[in-house]
Amino acid sequence: MNALQHYLDSIGVTVDSTQQYGLDAPKWANGMNSYECILNRNGERMFAVPFYQGKAHTAPPSRMDVLHALLADRATVEYLGVTGDFEDWANGLGYNVDSISDKKLFDAITEQTHKLELHFTEQELSILSELMEDY
């Protein structure tokens, strides 16, 4: 964990998490805490992502929580949706290829993955993925 925190410090990554109330959250997030998490690098805003966690979590998501989720989502897109194919991704993860909400989820994950790849080098993403293996 210290190596991960040190690396995030060295590349200047921070996250500002603000709890959101009254949002039109996805059905699967019903009853969860909703946050808007803004990823920053060296004090500059990179992008914002929604983040949901169970009610048992009393603290806002950390930068490790947010990046871990984004990297995990990225891995599914790279592994199962290499061609950008929703059907491959949905079938590989047990989603419904006829579901509009599942397609919206795929599109959101694909967009977030694109943003990650715009703001981090492939080497940085590789290092982060390796450091987060035990997170």
In terms of Cα–Cα distance, which of 82, 106, 85, 84 is closest to 26? 106
CA distance 9 to 61: 17
pLDDT at position 23 is 64
How does pLDDT run across 2-42, given as a tens digit for each residue? 999 999 999 999 999 999 886 677 777 778 889 999 999 99
pLDDT digits (tens, 9 = 90+) for 75-126: 988 877 556 689 988 998 999 999 998 999 999 999 999 999 999 999 999 9
- Please name the residues in contact with 59: beta carbons below 8 A apart, sequence gap of 6 or more: none
pTM for the model stands at 0.88
Q: What is the pLDDT of residue 67?
A: 96
